[in-house]
Amino acid sequence: MSLVQSHNEWDPLEEVIVGIVDGATIPGMSPGVRVTMPSRYHQFFSENRGKTFQNVDPELCYKAQIELDGFAQTLERLGVTVQRPASRDHSVKYSTPHWESTGSYATMPRDSLIVIGDQIIEAPMSWKSRYYETLAFRPLLKKYFQSGARWVAAPKPTIEDALFLHDGSMEQPWVLSEFEPVFDAADFFRCGRDIFVQRSHVTNLSGIEWMRRHLGNEYRVHMIQFDDPTAMHIDVNFLPLCPGKALANPERVPEIPEMFRDWEILYPPVPNLTDDAELYMSSRWVAINILMLDPNTVIVEQEEPELQTFFRNQGFDVVPVPFRNFCAFGGSFHCATLDIRRNGTLDSIF
């Protein structure tokens, strides 16, 4: 039996990959960075391209690594098998026939990989700095393949200039053209046979169509959109918590997607985390990037007491975990993990 088996975001979690901050490197300014990252840090990205976060902000790295390790230990105490990627130097330059770049990190496994059933799919990411990101996960991918899992990589994009409609500074809906299929895995979430995706500044229509054709008739891929001018990764806008309940960002979801209109939609309180905090790669709404351990249990950031109370009032068991410093890297519990095995079956929820 394959070690890999996961069909949704809420079945009891049995095995997970948790990212690392080792070697995390600052991406340079690019169309995708300009249009999605906080504008107050654009100069930071321009001036520090290719430098490691360790060299630029060592205290942050130290604190984030302690939080990550503590999170992994909490999961293990709760009976979850935890795997970690290999440490790599992401500041090493690499090139293709079209460009050269340094890497990024192995901090957010859900950005570059998605598990659907017994297969792991590598995403064709549109940031040059994330071109070889899955190499840090390669030892684990080989292990899962040897256990019987299907291992698929979407076609590597060339990321030529034609992929971008503008440099990210213009007020247009999207920065990506349809030159070639690209997507980040974190723009998808899973509800059994129904897979939901948002078009974003890292996921184009061609990428969505590639996934639809690849999954075939066994799955239905639905595109949903939100009021998010910096759209990048669906799990800070909308995320199912269990059958019949979903979490929605109150600032970015003015209209509930049609298929969820008979669900109970939960609008969380505004996070304590403020936009003027040291958030290099996200907004304060990263605080709602929670992880479901099972349909009744949710992991929530320790310094978000109102969010914890909110979930308890909705009938969930809450596990508070410190993760504030980690959020500076652009994600929280959901982004920092990749579900490898959840104890459940493939169902049609809708």
Q: Per-residue pLDDT tens for 211-234?
A: 999 999 999 999 999 999 999 999
Q: Any residues with CB less than 8 A from the CB of 97 and at least 6 apart, and which?
A: none
Region 268-288: what's the mean pLDDT? Answer: 84
How far is the C-alpha of 44 from the C-alpha of 21, rounded, in Å? 19
Question: Above 70 in pLDDT, residue 277?
Answer: no
Question: Above 70 in pLDDT, residue 1?
Answer: no
Does residue 233 carry a catalytic annotation? yes
Q: What pLDDT does 266 receive?
A: 98
Q: What pLDDT does 82 receive?
A: 98
Region 328-332: what's the mean pLDDT? Answer: 94
Region 282-287: what's the mean pLDDT? Answer: 90
Q: How far is CA 69 from the centre of its chain?
A: 19
Question: Above 90 in pLDDT, residue 169?
Answer: no
Q: What pLDDT does 273 receive?
A: 78
The C-alpha R_g of the chain, in whole angstroms, comes to 19
Q: What pLDDT does 127 receive?
A: 97
Q: What pLDDT does 236 receive?
A: 94
Among residues of the chain, what percentage have pLDDT more than 70? Answer: 99
pLDDT, tens digit (0-9, with 9 covering 90-100), for 24-69: 999 989 999 999 998 888 999 999 999 999 999 999 999 999 999 9
How far is the C-alpha of 146 from the C-alpha of 215, rounded, in Å? 22
State the chain's mean pLDDT as an integer: 95
How far is the C-alpha of 51 from the C-alpha of 57, rounded, in Å? 10
The more confidently predicted of residues 326 and 278 is: 326
Q: How far is CA 324 from the centre of its chain?
A: 17
How far is the C-alpha of 78 from the C-alpha of 68, rounded, in Å? 15
Catalytic residue, from 187, 242, 335, 339: name it: 335
Using CA atoms, how far residue 157 sits from 19, 152, 161, 206, 291, in Å, is 24, 15, 12, 11, 30
Does residue 61 carry a catalytic annotation? no
Please tell me the pTM assigned to this model: 0.96
How far is the C-alpha of 17 from the C-alpha of 20, rounded, in Å? 10
> 126 near 182, Cβ under 8 Å?
yes
Does residue 335 carry a catalytic annotation? yes
How far is the C-alpha of 176 from the C-alpha of 16, rounded, in Å? 31
Q: What pLDDT does 85 receive?
A: 98
pLDDT, tens digit (0-9, with 9 covering 90-100), for 82-123: 999 999 999 999 999 999 999 999 999 999 999 999 999 999
Give residue 46's identity as a one-letter amino acid code. Answer: S
Q: What is the dihedral of CA 239, 240, 246, 250, to 10 degrees?
A: 0
Catalytic residue, from 201, 233, 235, 339: name it: 233
